[in-house]
Amino acid sequence: MPEPILTAVATALATKAATGLYDLVKRKFSGNSKATAELEAATPDNPATVTALAERLDEASRQDPEFGAALRTEFEVHQEARSGGVTNHVGTVAEGAKVVQLRDVQGNISL
């Protein structure tokens, strides 16, 4: 049985609203036609498809812990964005680089 968070991830994927999350999983499943078919078939109207996808995500996460970590991180970003927050995930940044995070900007910005 998959972890509850993976069921939540599968539900988000089934809605096709979490673009970054969907793209991450689609890339991971790209070499596996059955897994890709489960991803594309998942729909919130059919809980069995969501469960099948959650089980596939569980399997993939156990086989590839880095994917599992990336999946959880991307899901957190998706959840924060849904709550109206602004989220920047900055990975490796070159020394001296600048990162700007904005929300609800009205007017001009000059950098």
Helix H, strand E, coil C: the string for 56-79 is HHHHHHHHCHHHHHHHHHHHHHHH
Is the pTM here over 0.75, yes or no?
Answer: no
Q: Which amino acid is at 22?
A: Y
According to the model, what pLDDT value does residue 33 have? 94
- Please give the Cα distance from 76 to 70 (Å, whole number): 10
According to the model, what pLDDT value does residue 54 have? 92
